[in-house]
Structure 1
Amino acid sequence: MNGWLMRVGAGLRHPVDGGSRAAGPVRSGPWARLIALPHAGGWPSAFRTWRPVLPAGVELLVAQLPGRGLRAAEPPLRRVAPLVDGLSRAVAELPPLPYAVVGHSFGSVLGYELTRAMERAGRPPRLLTVSARQPPCFPSEPPFAHRRTDAELLEHLVEIGGIGPELLHRGDLVRPALAAIRADLEAMETYRRPPTGVGVPILSLGAVDDPVVVADRLHLWSLETTGAFTRRMFPGGHFYLYEPETAVTIANHLLDICFPHVAERQEMSHSSATLSR
């Protein structure tokens, strides 16, 4: 079974099995696919706010990396290359569909390298969306977050909104997740810009009050593609992308770019109306 991607939506949350569909409610097949990559240490549930605002015909697959979720018993990986190797093989096994990639924070690094890998395989996405992460031309510099003590790392997570302050002194509850967070941070902070970029369009997103990202750097994602480039800013902090109202706006914009002529886009209006009630 392919455990790298988790299908989220319509009451279904299960690993994707090499193109076959696991048992569940009978429904018509998807006409498009969104592959989502969460922040450092993030689980597939990070994108739970996205499913209600996507048309039913858009399959939402979220990365499930080693060391978390159903893969909690596996040791987390500490470099980008093996993570992208697993993810790209998982995507290559899927039935062909038009698709887009969206990555948040560390997920932006994985999304960028996944897009490069899928271009080399001849199955590129229609769009790469990168959120809350500076472009590869600005590598991480010390002091590195992955080298902090557990207490220091917890304080950092509280500062950026990753966990609530009430958990700051509950290491017994959050410590099991720190290994995956630390591994992802190490992968992100040791990553270096590749010699070539991508050819697909890039949509760069950020939040005006993000304490982690320098907003003025986000437009330089334009250097990483020979395709079209757009940048958009939103209110909020580092985890703005998961806010329901923001998810509606971004999903609408993403679908406008990728699938502008699909009749089922009408379902988005219905989903948005339902969410606002």
Structure 2
Amino acid sequence: MTTNWLMTMRTGRPPEGDERFRRSRARPRFRVIALPHAGGWPSAFQPWQPGLPDDVELLVGQLPGRGPRIGEPPLRRVEPLVEGLSRAVAELEPMPYAVIGHSFGSVLGYELTKAMEHKGLPPRLLAVSARQPPCFPSEPPFAHLRTDDELLAHLVDIGGVSADLLRRPALMGPSLAAIRADLEAMETYRRPLSGTAVPILSLGAVDDPVVIAERLHLWSLETTGSFTRLMFTGGHFYLYSPDSAAVIIRHLVSGLTGGSPPPAPPSPADGPPGHVSPAAVGHVPERTLS
């Protein structure tokens, strides 16, 4: 399914001739709504597809100015983006769902969650990744005011795009326009007067060059529900790696199904690649772009 605002990403691969798999895929029992980083396309969440259970539907935000909507002007404020997303979510077949946002997507995910609460259709869990909580608003100098060359260089620096694009900036023209619009929306966003009652899972990487890792626990101030924080390694875009995705998916599924939460991540010395324990969080200098 594709709508203006949400695109379905297929999960798993059906075994040849497996009718039970086909039926479960036709009628999912749970849903994850994922919102990518600034300028991100739905394809950013492709690494998540193999790790999702067959009965969990993955919908990824499709914002104006990218993908099939490349011909539409990108929106530069959070409010109209959330209005479009919330309308699309409200029109879906009702089922338990979780919202996860990465970087700028965390801002959208938080406001989408609040909007859906007001509609009486809240998610069971909100996961926010690689973005400081709203009590720390963006401050100048703002990234959306950088020149194209400066913005592209910074994206390369934090691992968002290939360094080869520095020699071919024209290829990034449409994408930079969407990235700049998303950054403007994020950098003009201010903390709302009230938070949410939906449980929050705060996610981040200790080696993220964009976000101060020690601030991520303050997402606990934005909910009256339960709060959990998990820390990983892998830089600002750690969330799209298969190892990180597998850990996060287990927590999302637990929040959706009401099962017992997965055990806390082990220490870096004996844990799988891609994550570290909360006790290992260090201080990382923050940059403007996130």
TM (normalized to structure 1)? 0.87
Q: Deviations over 1:120-145 (max 9, x none)?
A: 00000000000000000000000000
Give the Cα separation in 2 of the matches to 1:70 and 1:186: 22
RMSD, aligned α-carbons:
1.8
Match of 2:152 in 1: 154
In structure 2, what residue type is equivalent to 1:235?
T
1:27 shift after superposition: 4.2
1:165-218 CA-to-partner distances (Å, cap 9, x unmatched) read 111121121122100000000000000000000001000000011000000110
| Structure 2 residue matching 1:184: 3-state secondary structure | helix
CA contact 2:125–2:200 (8 Å) conserved in 1: yes
Q: Superposed, which structure 2 residues align to 1:139-218 within 5 Å?
A: 139-218=137-216
Maintained 8 Å contact 2:12/2:50: no
In the alignment, the residues of structure 1 paired with residue 206 and residue 232 of structure 2 have an alpha-carbon distance, to the nearest angstrom, of 6
Look up the SS of the partner of 2:126 in the other structure.
strand
* Distance change (3 Å), C-alpha of 1:26 and 1:98: closer
Give the whole-Å Cα distance in 1 for the aligned partners of 2:141 and 2:213: 20
**Following TM superposition, where does structure 1 have runs of at least 4 consecutive aligned residues deviating by more than 4 angstroms?**
24-27
- Give the alignment partner of residue 138 of structure 1, picking from 118, 128, 136: 136
Paired-residue identity, %: 71
Residue 274 (structure 2) aligns with: none
| Distance (Å, rounded) in 2 between the aligned partners of 1:149 and 1:242 | 27
1:243 maps to amino acid:
S
> Is 1:88 aligned to 2:86, yes or no?
yes
1:8 equivalent in structure 2: 9
Q: Which amino acid aligns with 1:172?
A: A
Residue 102 of structure 2 aligns with an amino acid whose one-letter code is: H
Amino acid at match of 2:113: T
How far apart, in 1, do the equivalents of 2:70 and 2:208 lie?
29
Q: What code does the residue aligned with 2:8 have?
A: R
Within 2, Cα distance between the matches of 1:219 and 1:11? 33
Shift in Å, 1:260: 4.0
Partner of 1:16: none
Cα distance in 2 for partners of 1:134, 1:172 equals 31
Select which of 30, 40, 43 maps to 1:42.
40
Structure 2: where are the runs of 5+ without partners?
14-21, 261-290
Q: Aligned partners of 1:64, 1:179: CA distance in 2, in Å?
A: 15
TM alignment of 1:228-239, pairs within 5 A: 228-239=226-237
Change in Cα spacing, 1:25 to 1:230, as seen in structure 2 (3 Å) is closer
Deviates more, 1:3-12 or 1:66-75: 3-12
Q: Which moved more, 1:120-129 or 1:160-169?
A: 160-169
What amino acid maps onto 1:5 in structure 2? L
Q: By how many angstroms is 1:256 displaced?
A: 1.8
Paired residue secondary structure (2:131): coil
Unaligned stretches of 5+ residues in structure 1: 13-23, 263-277
Structure 1 pair 81–118 and aligned structure 2 pair: CA distance change class (3 A): same
Q: Shift in Å at residue 108 of structure 1? A: 0.1
State the secondary structure of the residue aligned to 1:2.
Answer: coil
Q: What is the distance in 2 between the residues matched to 1:77 and 1:28?
A: 33
1:225 aligned residue (223, 233, 236): 223
2:116 is aligned with 1:118: yes
Question: Which AA in structure 1 matches 2:125?
Answer: L
Change (3 A) 1:211 1:27: closer
1:247 and 2:245 equivalent?
yes
Count of residue pairs the alignment pairs up: 251
Q: Deviations over 1:46-68 (max 9, x none)?
A: 00011110001100000000000
Distance in 2, matches of 1:5 and 1:259, equals 23
